[in-house]
Homo-oligomer: A and B are copies of this chain.
């Protein structure tokens, strides 16, 4: 079993194999439900031998997890604003960026949501909550919390935002993006 944590240390062959498998999965997932896909299907599509698949991943769930972790890294790096203003501004900007990020990957992400990959989606929520938590802990903003627990507050608002995004993505006739963001501004106490 191949278990490399650092992408850099991966053999060229390994990177090629993993890339093929991820591509194959992404392609098949938008065609039909994840649940109906077999490891054999993915390997056929990726032109990778099945034993090679098992050398990299224990099962198809783990491949899905791997794919989502890549999406998450992308998401985090493209959503976190460069200049950190107030926690409120940070949150609103990050939310807007996240909305755009997922809007551009709607087909694949909807498939992920319907595929029992939420456990992995929640890792992204964890990461986002941690980011907001760090902002809320800065001494400049502590008093803005009015005695609330920064960890709980971070969970609360990030959870709310992710819930909105999921709802927005899964709706066939989604609310206009601007309306969603306007509403969001009203819900966040101004600091």
Residues of A within 8 A of B (CB): 35, 59, 61, 113-114, 116-119, 121-122, 125, 129, 146-149, 151-153, 155-164, 166-167, 175, 179-180, 183-184, 186-187
* Assembly CA distance A159 to B125 (angstroms): 12
Q: Are B125 and A163 interface neighbours, CB within 8 A? A: yes
Closest B residue to A183 by beta carbon equals B152
Residues of B contacting A153 in the complex (Cβ-Cβ under 8 angstroms): 183, 187
Q: Are B183 and A148 interface neighbours, CB within 8 A? A: yes
Residues of B contacting A116 in the complex (Cβ-Cβ under 8 angstroms): 61, 116-119
* Assembly CA distance A31 to B161 (angstroms): 34
Q: Are A187 and B119 interface neighbours, CB within 8 A? A: no
